[in-house]
Amino acid sequence: MGDVTSRYLIVSNRLPITAVVENGNLELKASTGGLATALKQVFGEDNATWIGWPGETGALMRKAREQLEDGLEKAGMVPVYLAAKQVERFYEGFSNGVLWPLFHYLLDTVRSDAGRDWEAYREVNEKFAEAVVAVYKPGDRIWVQDYQLCLVPGMLRKRLPQASIGFFLHIPFPASGVFRILPWRREILQGLLGADLIGFHTFSYARQFSSCLLRILGLESNVDTVTHDGRLVRIGAFPISIDTEHFETASAHPEVTAKAEEIRHHHPGCKILVGVDRLDYTKGLKRRVLAIEHLLEKHPELAGKFKFIQAAVPSRAGVEAYKQLRKQIDELVGRVNGRFSTISWSPVQYLYRGLDGHELLGLYRAADVMLVTPLRDGMNLVAKEFVACRHDDDGVLVLSEFAGAAWEMGEAIIVNPYNEDELADAMHRALTMDEPERRFRMQRLRKRVRDWTVHEWVRQFDQALTLVTTENAAWHRT
């Protein structure tokens, strides 16, 4: 990160480590998800403090709090504890029951009883703002992350009028016609406008945000700048990426090579299709399994010739829509396997768990085809991780046109994940693509993830934030 004399305060709902208390014993586990993956690779290089939720409720945490706080302090992290009710209403209810499905265009999944949860959302955002104020020193740069904390920039601006505040949204920002459904649309926009800089993954999300400012608040932006409350607010596209070098190096480890060989060895004569996701309804898992079924209906000659390995790490298991999804995927996988399996082969191998580092990278390396087919996704780092691990310049990426990554990864086979027939055809094309074409595409994809890494993302966001903070300071001096 840029200037070592100023400190970065990273503020996100989830810390990069999650505390789990089992039988009174505390365990700290790496958090899953794109935000944690991306930011933890740049965090800790120099002067940064990370403020967030360690992932357990206050009540459980009290037992192990001392031990936890010791661990967090050493790691430069400041915990914000949530009470059980806050987890239910702020985290599960409003953040993941309303904003998450709405911003991913899955309107049927948006909870209809959100009124009671809005208050908790506001209250927890206040709690985060207070935690920031408690550690803030003049000169610090505050980076607020993601949809759970949209009100924090506005709350901070009231308390720290001169602070340098950036906000980055890790999920899509929807079209104004969708965003306007939200009863608290004005409050959310006004909260975000407390930042000096508001970043999105793509120009399209940034444009949609500007259009909401105009339609809902009547604020006209001038290219990428809007004036609000006597300050400039910049709006920009900063596509997030991965620490490519880390993935390149880690995936060359002999244990990863052994893992990849082991996976291939277990499926002799089969091409391997892979999916790696959080178990989330936005990831298109149901349609992916249905497309496998459709592939076998259209191409019965493929029976016994491929294996689809899907790893899905449990996520937000307290939210009803996620509980239902788990059941549906269990049933669907069972149905497809029941229908097409023989004594010696089944089409789908489903792992309901997180993979450890070597397994994950081994799977990326063993894959002939990587299926990244979300119904909607802010960016999707799995696509980039897969490509970074392919030293052999081989493997085919099938990528949803509704993932932010599709804007940068045009050499993938781009698909509409809602079209089961197209998805099955894309799988067939990927399985039968000749080697020169696979190499041609993969080499170009690899160059892209080498040229634009998470370090560039940090640098550009940081520079843009410094610029607008300086402009605002100069404006207030005149």
Residue 127 interacts with ligand G6P (CB under 6 A): yes or no: no
Minimum distance from residue 5 beta carbon to ligand G6P (Å): 29
- Give me the catalytic one of 104, 170, 201, 358: 170
CB 400 within 8 A of CB 406: yes
Applying CB under 6 A, among 176, 202, 310, 315 the residue interacting with ligand G6P is 315
Q: Which stretch binds ligand ADP (CB under 6 A): 31-39, 125-133, 322-330, 463-471?
A: 31-39
Interface pattern 297-316 for ligand ADP (x via CB under 6 A) = --------------xxx---
305's tokens: 């010739």
360 is a contact residue toward ligand ADP (CB under 6 A):
yes
| C-alpha distance from residue 328 to each of 285, 367, 372, 377, 419 (Å) | 10, 25, 19, 21, 19
Q: d(Cα 110, Cα 105) in Å, to the nearest integer?
A: 9
- Contact (Cβ atoms closer than 8 angstroms) between residue 281 and residue 325: yes
Q: Closest CB to ligand G6P among 30 and 181? A: 30
The catalytically annotated residue of 117, 224, 277, 377 is: 377
Residue 52 found at the interface with ligand G6P (CB under 6 A): no
106 is a site residue for ligand ADP (CB under 6 A): no
Helix, coil or strand: residue 243? coil
Give whichever of 80 and 381 is closer to ligand ADP, judged by the CB atom: 381
Q: Confirm or reject binding of residue 202 to ligand ADP (CB under 6 A).
A: no
Residue from 110, 332, 381, 397 touching ligand ADP (CB under 6 A): that is: 381
One DSSP character per residue, 194-230 reads: TSSEEEESSHHHHHHHHHHIIIII-PPPBTTEEEETT
DSSP 32: P
Residue 207 contacts ligand G6P per CB under 6 A: no
Query: Which is nearer to ligand ADP, 189 or 325 (by Cβ)?
Result: 325
Query: What DSSP designation does 300 have?
Result: G
Beta 25-30 vs 17-22: how paired, if at all? antiparallel
Q: Does residue 385 belong to the site contacting ligand ADP (CB under 6 A)?
A: yes
| Spatial distance between the Cα atoms of 138 and 140, rounded to a whole number of angstroms | 6
Segment near ligand ADP (CB under 6 A); pick from 129-137, 270-278, 294-302, 332-340: 270-278
> Exactly one of 15, 124, 193, 276 binds ligand ADP (CB under 6 A); which one?
276
Least distance CB 354 / ligand G6P (angstroms): 11
Nearest residue to 94 via CA among 113, 108, 72: 113
If one asks whether residue 377 binds ligand G6P (CB under 6 A), the answer comes out as no
| Residue 81 CB-density burial (10 A; 0-12 exposed, 13-18 middle, 19+ buried) | middle
- Taking the complex as a whole, the smallest distance from the CB of residue 402 to ligand ADP amounts, in Å, to 13
Q: Does 176 bind ligand G6P (CB under 6 A)?
A: no
Q: How many CB atoms lie within 10 A of CB 421?
A: 12
d(CA 193, CA 215): 15
Give yes or no for residue 34 binding ligand ADP (CB under 6 A): yes
Q: What share of the chain is helix, strand, coil (3-state, %, to 5)?
A: 50, 20, 30
- CA distances in angstroms from 16 to 7, 19, 40, 76, 125, listed in the order given: 18, 10, 6, 11, 19
Residue nearest to ligand G6P (CB): 33
Strand partners, 372: 399
Q: Is 377 a residue of the active site?
A: yes
Q: Given candidates 42, 171, 405, 445, which one binds ligand G6P under the rule CB under 6 A? A: 171
Amino acid at 305: K
Give dist(CA 125, CA 121) in Å, integer: 6
If one asks whether residue 192 binds ligand ADP (CB under 6 A), the answer comes out as: no
Active site residue 170: yes
Question: Judged by CB under 6 A, which of 316, 365, 438, 446 binds ligand G6P?
Answer: 316
Nearer to ligand G6P, 170 or 228 (CB): 170
Of the two residues 146 and 243, which places its CB atom closer to ligand G6P in the complex?
Answer: 146
CB 125 within 8 A of CB 152: yes
Length of the chain: 478
Q: Which does 120 bind (CB under 5 to 8 A by kind): ligand ADP, ligand G6P, none?
A: none
- Cβ closest to ligand G6P, residue 97 vs residue 194: 97
Of 12-51, which residues contact ligand G6P (CB under 6 A)? 14, 33-35
3-class secondary-structure state, position 30: strand
Q: Which residues bind ligand G6P (CB under 6 A)?
A: 14, 33-35, 146, 170-171, 315-316
Q: Which residues bind ligand ADP (CB under 6 A)?
A: 32-34, 37, 276-278, 311-313, 354-355, 360, 379-382, 385
Residues catalogued as catalytic: 170, 377
